[in-house]
Structure 1
Amino acid sequence: MKSNQRVKKLLLLSSSSSPSPTKTPNKTLSSSPTMITKKTRSSTTKTPKQLSSPTKTPKKPLSSPTITTKKTRSSTTKTLRKRLSPPPTKIPKKKLLSSPTKTPKKTLSSSPTKTLNKTSLSTKTPKNKNKKKTLSNKECLDLALQRLSSNSTPESLPCRGSQFTDIFNYIENKLIEGNGGCMYISGVPGTGKTATVREVKRKLEADSKYPAFKWIEVNGLKLSDPYQCYVHILHELTGEKRSSEAAADTLNDRFSDCDPDHEFVILFVDELDLLRTRKQNILYHLFDWPTRHNSKLIVLAIANSMDLPEKLMINRVASRIGLTRLAFHPYSWQELESIITSRLTGLLHVFDSDALKLISRKVAAVSGDARRALDICRLAVQTAQLTAAAAADDEDDQQQQELQSTVSMESVDQALKEIFNSLKLVRIRLAPLQEQVFLQAVCQDFRISGVEEANFIDVYQHHIEICRFEGHYIPSTVELEKIAYNLHTSRLIIVEKSVSHLFKKIRLNISVDDINFALKMS
């Protein structure tokens, strides 16, 4: 029992001795450092254990702050990065995600479709260009038809340089001197008279060194009555509309007044021979007004016949014209060829050189009319188009025509045959003199009235005037009626059936240009 009691005491002592030193230093370190110093001074043997414990304890607090600082630094850096990085990272991501996603969608949906179409078109354009080069036959022929039209105004007038300088110098001298004058320009149709005068007008209007002038143009073909030229001139000059007699009086007073403040008036009269009357008052006024003092009137008169003043006008009218005359001779074949080639700048491959020479030589041998040469070229182009359209079914012929973009000699020969060897033209060339004069009378009435139909009595009056002018025999109404029925059977004109032969309606069954061309050939 005593041994057991001793063992229990030892155990109690051991138990009391072992927990006290371990727990005290922790408590002393955590709670009071003074206790640690007292026990360390008192117990030297237990200092290593106690020193080991404090060494361990500071490591924990030191380790914990180091760990916390790293965590805090890492956390702070992460938070800073999160705070700073999201806007730049998210915005570019949105931009990159939105713009690539949207822009590619746009580019793939709208723009890529357009760009792809453009790229596809760009890839196809060389094929189209190649097709244009091979298929340019159609487009080049269409463009050649537009340029070869007689109504289209060319950029320059070849082969009329000397006539252009003569007209320009004449008007320039009159404008500088301050005097009026008159120039009579003659030549067969299609020799470039009207085009040359209009080119002079463009050059005068482009230069500002000349005095101010008023340009008035009168065309005899556009007047229903010769006396309407007074009304037209007064309306263009002052803007007033009066009767022909009142307009003639006011114009006479205007050009008789010696007022130096009046501006110059350049009067361009085309188709002068259609303004003839019995007393020739219109022609006398037109050529008398420029000779008056300080009239400041320059008259440019154009007619087809060179000897019109001597044939049609009275001696006093012919004397007013004086020696200021200019003649336009018919074109030679070299000039006609240069005119056609100037129209076809950039399209010279459309025609063969031999084809152009053949057309120009044929026209120059007959009349030298540039308009007729252009018409033949247009007809040759149209025949080439028809042959191309007819051969479009065959692949071999189509490939050959795609490679060839020229009007061949065959189409030119066919066009020349249609024009020169047509039955109507041959009939007019071989017609008697009175029948040719009758056709001229019908054309003249059509030019004056502008109506396709004409009364027999009006044609008869024009027929008598032409016969008197040319010095031919004047037929009666019965004889002229037989002439009209002969032309009707040849299908050159159409005569309406009527009871009274004087008021029968007559209509042309052929163009006026073809009649004039056939009459020149005869």
Structure 2
Amino acid sequence: MIAWEGSICGALNRLLQNVPDGDWICEFCVARKAGKNVELPWIPEGKKMRRTAREKLLSGELWAARIESLWREPNGVYWIKCRWYVIPEETTAGRQSHNLRRELYRTNHLSNIEMESVIRHCYVMNPREFGGAINDGDDVFYCEYEYDVRWHSFKRIADVIDADNNEEDGNDEVWKSSDDSGGDSEGDSDFDEEEIDALFSFQDIPIPELAANSRKGRIFGLHKIGVKKIPKHVRLHKPSNMESAKSMLLPTTLPKSLPCRTKEMEEISSFIEGAMCGEQCLGRCLYIHGVPGTGKTMTVLAVLRNLRVEVDAGRMQPYCFVEVNGLKLASPENIYRVIYEALSGHRVGWKKALNLLNERFSKGSNVGKEDNRPCILLVDELDLLLTRNQSVLYNILDWPTKPNSKLIVIGIANTMDLPEKLLPRISSRMGIQRLCFGPYNYQQLQEIISSRLKGIDVFEEQAIEFASRKVAAMSGDARRALEICRRAAEVADFRVEQLSQLSKTTSLTKACPKEKHFVSIDDIEAAIREIFQAPHIQIMKTSSRMSKIMLAAMVHELYRSGLGEVTFEKLATTINSLCSSNREAPPGRDTLLKVGFKLGECRIILLEEGLKHRFLKMQLNFPSEDVTFALKDCPEIPWLSKYL
């Protein structure tokens, strides 16, 4: 028999190297129970007591996470998207008497981290599974509730309703790994060498200034993760200039400053500051329109980022900000649920959310912790909220007109004359304040690309100017210009890699100085050919005469109305008008319908499923500049270039 209490001392790891004969009782445990002062054996310098991963997790030194997805970057590094778990001490309520020792809370916070941060596999089970997991090992934990890191509220996981498919999620899926290199084995020594801990900082999470049950003066929150020792070649890897350039040219990368939109930023800033004058907040609406890729949404977000600095400095009253994108809504009515959840932190159906929001903005009743603050609502892709009776747009634009709403609505769409297409009761509430974002010219595109590549000398100036002129001549879309430059950087990087491999395999061993490689005009041309010589562009070039006229009419209608979708009846009217103006025999409705179905089979356009051919909705499946590039120099129909 061996009598030892590991929770009192660690003597078993220090003294026993083999199983003793007969009975053995730990003398340190006996002395401590008797109330004597016990001095434990000293730990060698540079060593530390070995603890299991479970003990480190429950003491806040490691983190548990549920892996949602895994992918590999072009540079070969694996990344994961994970949902974090927290221990009760890291919540605002702290550890309560009903909390189990192995209990965790699942949070609603997701992060992207490198796969190198994963130590090993653990099991997080629901109450039923945890009750039967007696012999499932040490890395087994219990989870019954979800913790909201913003509103500091708890909700049973079985009651959490998914916003998309309304399915219950009461079971945690775990990631299975065959590599258990981070675990403890029987051959491990009694003491582990000191390891380097890497910390990941998450600044976008609202963490309380002092969490409950903080231990040893440390503040706990979702702001760090303990990891195993990262290999030296990974830890000391410094990205090259070409890799940094490709990273900065991603359209999703937010630049430090937004060039070429100073005037628009000043107008948006003055609009918001004018609505929030003094301690009052006047409900207002601002409509922003312009062709795609002109920086409408990014400009508004940059203005709000600057205003947040004013709020932190105390020069402006606090406000709450809600951003909604129409493309991410399953139906226009779901915008009520998204707005209410952002204000209150609770998930309800859209009908109940509409009633509560009406009380909030019409009567000034409280629905959340930030109700007394003004609210700035940014609705991107506003035209996608159109319904048959236009009730969704009416409610959103009617709320700012109420005396106690304190609501500022900023709508963004590509359609210039959207207010004129709405019902009079809606267009009157939208107001007269509009802001137009025109397409970028080549000087502005050149400045945008150069600002992102500031301090990274890998592009020739002529190459940037050439790409800017090409894009400005077609659409003025900044995203397309960044895409071309990034692809050119990849082409140049591949060319340099091929040259380096060729130099290693050749018999020439003369030492020659390394040349500094730049992205040249040839690389830009190769990227443009690759982008604009895709299979769908070749199909457009070789399509029939009437197919080309239909595609040109769809682009013309897109530029005229700003709406991506067009009905067959309206498109047929536009085609007849174009043909009559250019002495072309107008086709019949049956012919146009066959041409439309043919383009739909090739996936050049998207057709709505249904039998109502007259009101059949049609939409381009590719950017309009691809159609312009394919048909602008068509020798068969030269007059098409006037409408592209």
TM-score tier, shorter chain, comes to 0.5 to 0.7
Please state whether the residue corresponding to 1:350 is helix, strand or coil.
Answer: coil
CA contact (8 A) 2:336 2:350 kept: yes
Whole-angstrom distance in 2 between the partners of 1:329 and 1:226 = 28
Structure 1 residue aligned with 2:468: 360
Structure 2 residue aligned with 1:275: 385
Q: Output the amino acid matched with 2:342.
A: E
Q: Output the amino acid matched with 2:252.
A: N
Structure 2 residue aligned with 1:483: 596
CA contact (8 A) 1:425 1:515 kept: no
Q: Residue by residue, what CA displacement relative to the aligned partner does 1:447-497 show, whole Å, maximum 9, x if unpaired?
A: xxxxxxxxxxxxxxx966575599658999997576334443x564899xx
Post-superposition shift, 1:210? 1.7
Q: Output the amino acid matched with 2:321.
A: W
CA contact (8 A) 2:326 2:384 kept: yes
CA contact (8 A) 2:549 2:575 kept: no
Map residues 61-460 of structure 1 onto 2, 5 A cutoff: 139-176=240-277, 177-208=280-311, 209-257=315-363, 262-311=372-421, 313-347=422-456, 349-395=457-503, 402-425=514-537, 427-428=539-540, 431-432=547-548, 434=550
Please state whether the residue corresponding to 1:346 is helix, strand or coil.
Answer: coil
Report which of the two has the higher share of strand. 2
Q: Output the amino acid matched with 2:596.
A: I
Please state whether the residue corresponding to 2:246 is helix, strand or coil.
Answer: helix
Structure 1 unmatched ranges of 5 or more: 1-131, 442-461, 503-510
Q: Residue by residue, what CA displacement relative to the aligned partner does 1:101-143 show, whole Å, maximum 9, x if unpaired?
A: xxxxxxxxxxxxxxxxxxxxxxxxxxxxxxx9xxx9x922111
Post-superposition shift, 1:286? 1.5
Post-superposition shift, 1:278? 0.8
Q: Residue by residue, what CA displacement relative to the aligned partner does 1:218-261 show, whole Å, maximum 9, x if unpaired?
A: 10010011110011111111223232222222212221115798
CA contact (8 A) 2:467 2:481 kept: yes
TM-score (norm 2): 0.49
Q: Output the amino acid matched with 2:448.
A: I
Post-superposition shift, 1:372? 0.3
Post-superposition shift, 1:425? 2.7
Q: Determine which structure has greater relative contact order: mean sequence separation of CA pairs < 8 Å that are 6+ residues apart, divided by chain length.
A: 1
Whole-angstrom distance in 2 between the partners of 1:360 and 1:432 = 27
Whole-angstrom distance in 1 between the partners of 2:264 and 2:293 = 15
The verdict on how the C-alpha distance between 1:370 and 1:463 changes in structure 2, with shifts beyond 3 A counting, is: closer
Whole-angstrom distance in 1 between the partners of 2:408 and 2:418 = 20
Structure 2 residue aligned with 1:106: none
Post-superposition shift, 1:423? 4.6
Whole-angstrom distance in 2 between the partners of 1:309 and 1:467 = 22
Post-superposition shift, 1:288? 1.4
Whole-angstrom distance in 1 between the partners of 2:606 and 2:420 = 36
Structure 2 unmatched ranges of 5 or more: 1-236, 558-563, 577-587, 612-619, 630-643
Q: Which has the larger radius of gyration?
A: 1
Whole-angstrom distance in 2 between the partners of 1:494 and 1:223 = 20
The verdict on how the C-alpha distance between 1:369 and 1:464 changes in structure 2, with shifts beyond 3 A counting, is: closer
The verdict on how the C-alpha distance between 1:281 and 1:487 changes in structure 2, with shifts beyond 3 A counting, is: closer
Post-superposition shift, 1:316? 1.9
Whole-angstrom distance in 2 between the partners of 1:477 and 1:285 = 41
Q: Residue by residue, what CA displacement relative to the aligned partner does 1:398-439 show, whole Å, maximum 9, x if unpaired?
A: 988940320122111111222234452354477445567899
The verdict on how the C-alpha distance between 1:318 and 1:469 changes in structure 2, with shifts beyond 3 A counting, is: farther
TM-score (norm 1): 0.60
The verdict on how the C-alpha distance between 1:300 and 1:501 changes in structure 2, with shifts beyond 3 A counting, is: closer
Q: Residue by residue, what CA displacement relative to the aligned partner does 1:180-235 show, whole Å, maximum 9, x if unpaired?
A: 10000011111111111111111122223222211111100100111100111111
Q: Output the amino acid matched with 1:252.
A: N
CA contact (8 A) 2:285 2:409 kept: yes
Q: Output the amino acid matched with 2:465.
A: K
CA contact (8 A) 2:553 2:574 kept: no
Please state whether the residue corresponding to 1:207 is helix, strand or coil.
Answer: helix
Post-superposition shift, 1:394? 3.3
Post-superposition shift, 1:377? 0.1
Please state whether the residue corresponding to 2:323 is helix, strand or coil.
Answer: strand
Post-superposition shift, 1:155? 0.4
The verdict on how the C-alpha distance between 1:339 and 1:223 changes in structure 2, with shifts beyond 3 A counting, is: same
Q: Aligned pairs, how many? A: 353
Whole-angstrom distance in 1 between the partners of 2:605 and 2:339 = 36
Post-superposition shift, 1:376? 0.4
Whole-angstrom distance in 1 between the partners of 2:590 and 2:551 = 14
Please state whether the residue corresponding to 1:335 is helix, strand or coil.
Answer: helix
The verdict on how the C-alpha distance between 1:361 and 1:473 changes in structure 2, with shifts beyond 3 A counting, is: closer
Post-superposition shift, 1:304? 0.6
CA contact (8 A) 1:184 1:321 kept: yes
Whole-angstrom distance in 1 between the partners of 2:310 and 2:573 = 47
